[in-house]
């Protein structure tokens, strides 16, 4: 009787654990997050920026890119963002669905220019962002490219008296089959 009772508890525990692994694991796998553990990217580890693909990063599907810039990277603030991407990126951006956010909320945009020939987005802000402010750039309605890894390089125009263009970092975005 005691043996049957012990086996029942072990069986229930095993079923609960199996169910969690089977049904809980796909939830973690669905969302694309930061660039993960990168060894041979050609980008210095301190310059790799985090990102999040809200709808999973599936090839040729619509997605929302959340591109994060930590406060320590914006020591001079920013009045304009430049995001350049490689020639093999065949996705599409919706310039009407771009948002720049700080902890205070959305920052009003002056203009967004997508130069397809030169392969960059230029996001001009109506008011500059203060130095040492964390920024999230949200690109909604992005048509993902075919699968691959794409380096999105971020530069800013400093918000001080001298408008220097400064390298901030690189998002290493993976679109997987």
Q: What is the pLDDT of residues 82-110, one digit of tens each?
A: 999 999 999 999 999 999 999 999 999 99
| Same domain flag for 42 and 120 | yes
| Same domain flag for 5 and 88 | no
**pTM value?**
0.77
d(CA 37, CA 174): 12
| Same domain flag for 88 and 61 | yes
- Average pLDDT, rounded, for the chain: 83
pLDDT at 30: 43
pLDDT digits (tens, 9 = 90+) for 105-161: 999 999 999 999 999 999 999 999 999 999 999 999 999 999 899 999 999 999 878
| Same domain flag for 62 and 129 | yes
| Same domain flag for 14 and 74 | no
How many structural domains is the chain composed of? 2
| Same domain flag for 58 and 136 | yes
| Same domain flag for 64 and 20 | no
| Same domain flag for 51 and 136 | yes
| Structural domain harbouring 147 | 31-175
| Same domain flag for 122 and 137 | yes
| Same domain flag for 60 and 108 | yes
| Same domain flag for 9 and 68 | no
Across the range 37-52, mean pLDDT stands at: 72
């Amino acid at each position: 009787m005691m043996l049957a009772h012990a086996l029942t508890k072990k069986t229930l525990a095993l079923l609960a654990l199996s169910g969690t692994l089977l049904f809980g694991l796909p939830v973690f796998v669905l969302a694309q997050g930061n660039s993960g553990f990168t060894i041979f990217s050609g980008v210095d580890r301190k310059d790799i920026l985090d990102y999040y693909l809200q709808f999973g990063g599936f090839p040729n599907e619509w997605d929302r890119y959340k591109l994060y810039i930590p406060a320590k990277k914006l020591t001079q603030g920013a009045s304009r963002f430049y995001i350049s991407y490689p020639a093999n990126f065949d996705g599409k951006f919706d310039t009407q669905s771009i948002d720049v956010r700080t902890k205070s909320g959305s920052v009003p945009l002056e203009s967004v220019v997508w130069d397809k020939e030169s392969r960059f987005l230029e996001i001009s802000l109506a008011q500059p962002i203060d130095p040492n402010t964390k920024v999230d750039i949200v690109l909604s309605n992005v048509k993902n490219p075919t699968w691959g890894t794409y380096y999105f390089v971020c530069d800013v125009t400093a918000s001080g008296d001298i408008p220097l263009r400064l390298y901030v970092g690189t998002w290493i975005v993976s679109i997987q089959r």
